[in-house]
Structures are given as structure tokens and as C-alpha cells.
Amino acid sequence: MNMNMNRRRFLKTASAAAAATTAFACASPSFVHCAAEPKRAGGINVLFLMTDEQHYRSLSLTGNPYVRTPNMDRIGREGVCFENASCVTPYCSPSRATILTGVYPHRHGILMNVDGAQSKQEALKQSAFPNTETILHGRGYAASHRGKWHLGDKGDFDCYESWDYAAKTAKDYKAFLDQRLPAAQFANHPSPGKYLGRPVEMIPAVEKGYREFHALPDNRAAYISTIGRSLVPPELLPETQITDQALELIVRHAKEQFMITVSWSPPHDLWVTPEPYYSMVDRSKVTLRGSPNIPAWDQRGPSKRLGDIMGPEGIREYAAIYHGMVKYIDDQVGRIL
């Protein structure tokens, strides 16, 4: 059900209820689902499901006309839908740190994305602020995290298992994919763009935009022009593997109290998806609601520049793929629920 409820009132209510809790987080709104009956006396299990760069109107619950999202809708429909939520900052790492600590970025100190050489210096530290997982772990919970972290060294959090998906991805995922989908079979594919080391099939408008966008001087966002149909099937995508790991964790900890975080990247760029998700949205029905009154500073942004190059056909292709990615993740949410 939809309720007008502020954070403090919700936390007070949720803390008082001994219920199995499922949360789904995206850009906005946020959802929390509380089951009517606890699994056992005093036992609250927490399942936190997170997507990245998902617009609040991308759900059928909130009016999305292009794809149905019954699993995400269920969380909002059966639980609480926060319809007036907003992201604390337009960057990934500060937002994730705020979710963990409950304080604003100017308090926890992570103001930009934590990447590369900066990661050790700017990583979120367990010792710096109390956080949900550490508190629950100290009270006997099994705390696990699978998927995107983007906060430096997750090993600093002793509440988590040592298994780190991000490190495994960098180390082992290419070998895994080569075993299941050998790169050699795509060696002569003409597509200029790649995803997970495999070609991305682009429509002409997007491929033209890709080449022109890459040719722009000092373009640090050239990667966002990789938009198209992935040749890596859904069952081999990293997000499917993350879901598989989450299901294994739920089974493993079934007799314990647990907090399991599942963090998927889509519909964050790269905007690439395989069939059947690639073809789910009719491009001719995608409505472009662009505004002619974009401020001067935003005219210089990479997304605006890429959109100008690709034109309406390319933008519709992007929008259709974006919604296909949302549908893919909704299916992953459904597997877990």
C-alpha cells in the first residue's frame, strides 16, 4: 500500500515489528516490504535489493508504459512506497556510503566516486561510522553482499564474508565467459563497440554516433556511446550470476538471521542488453519528452552531446534498451522473491 510516512516514523514502526523485511532501492521511489508474520520469534531477516541509475518512472507501478515490472511493483504494492524520496548526490559512491551509514556525504566524507588509485585513500571505513550490517553482524546476523560495491575495499568490513564479487569479476569473469562463449567466434564481427569483451550490435544511427562521439577531443565519457544488442545471453550476464549467488546465500542462511544485500548495476550504462530484452520495446512508440530550455551548463554535458549526434532515432534506441534492462532486472528480482 502507498503511505505518506517520513523516515523517522517508518524506522520506528519497522523496528517495532518482528517481520521479515525486503527492501528495494533505486533512484526514487524507494520501497520497503514487511511480511505480516515473523519467520520465528524475534527474528527479522533483511533482504536489500539495489539497482543503479533507475528512474522512478521506469516501473509499471509508477506509470511506465513500455514494460511491466510485476516483481518490483509487488514490493511497492505490498509494502511501503516512498514517493517523495530523492538521491543525496548524483554520484554512485557517495550515495552508497549514505545508504550504509545513514549520514549525508558531507559527514561521511565521500563526495565523488571511489575509483582506481583513490580507492584506498577514499574508501568507506567500517570504523568511521556505525552502519547497519556491522550492527546486525555484532548481534549474530549473517551479513553478505553480492554485486556492485564501489566504495573501495569491502574487506575493511569484517561483517562481510571475504568473498568479493568485484575482485572475482576482474580476475575470473573473462575466463568464465571465454569458457561458455569463446571470444574467437566473434573475432571477425564488424561492430566497433564491445561489452564484456564481446561485440555489441548497433543500429546505424547509434554506430554513427559512436564513431563521431569517440572522435571528440578530450572525451572522457566516450564509453557511454556503446548502446545496442549484446551477444552475451542473459544466463551468462554478471547480474544473473549475482542473483544465483544471492539465491545460494538465502538457502545457506535459511536457519539463521541474515541481512543479504544484492546490488545490480543495470540500468546503469553501458546501455546494452541481449534478447529477449533488447526487442521488448517498440521503438516507434517511445515518446521523446525533451525540453528546449536546457541551461547552458547542461548543453555541454556528454549525454546532451551524444544525443545531438545520434538524433531521435538513436535516442529512441537508447530508451528502448534502458527499459529492456529494467525488465531484465525485474526478472532477477522475481527469482529472489
Per-residue pLDDT tens digits of the chain, which is 337 residues long = 334 444 455 444 444 433 334 555 554 445 554 443 344 445 789 999 999 999 989 999 999 999 999 999 999 999 888 888 888 888 899 999 999 889 999 998 888 898 865 555 667 877 778 888 888 999 999 999 999 988 887 767 778 865 555 555 556 788 888 999 998 999 899 999 999 999 999 999 999 999 999 999 999 999 999 999 999 999 999 999 999 999 999 999 999 999 999 999 999 999 999 999 999 999 999 999 877 788 888 888 899 999 999 999 999 999 999 999 999 999 999 999 9
Chain-centroid distance of CA 213 in Å reads: 25
How far is residue 141 CA from its own chain's centroid? Answer: 25
Cα radius of gyration (the chain): 21
CATH 3.40.720.10, applies to 7-168+235-270+324-336: yes
SS3 151: coil
The pTM is what? 0.86
Domain ranges (residues) in the chain: 7-168+235-270+324-336, 182-231+272-321
Contacts of 285 (CB under 8 A, 6+ apart): 65, 66
Do the bridges between strand 21-25 and strand 142-147 make them parallel or antiparallel, or are there none, so unpaired?
A: unpaired
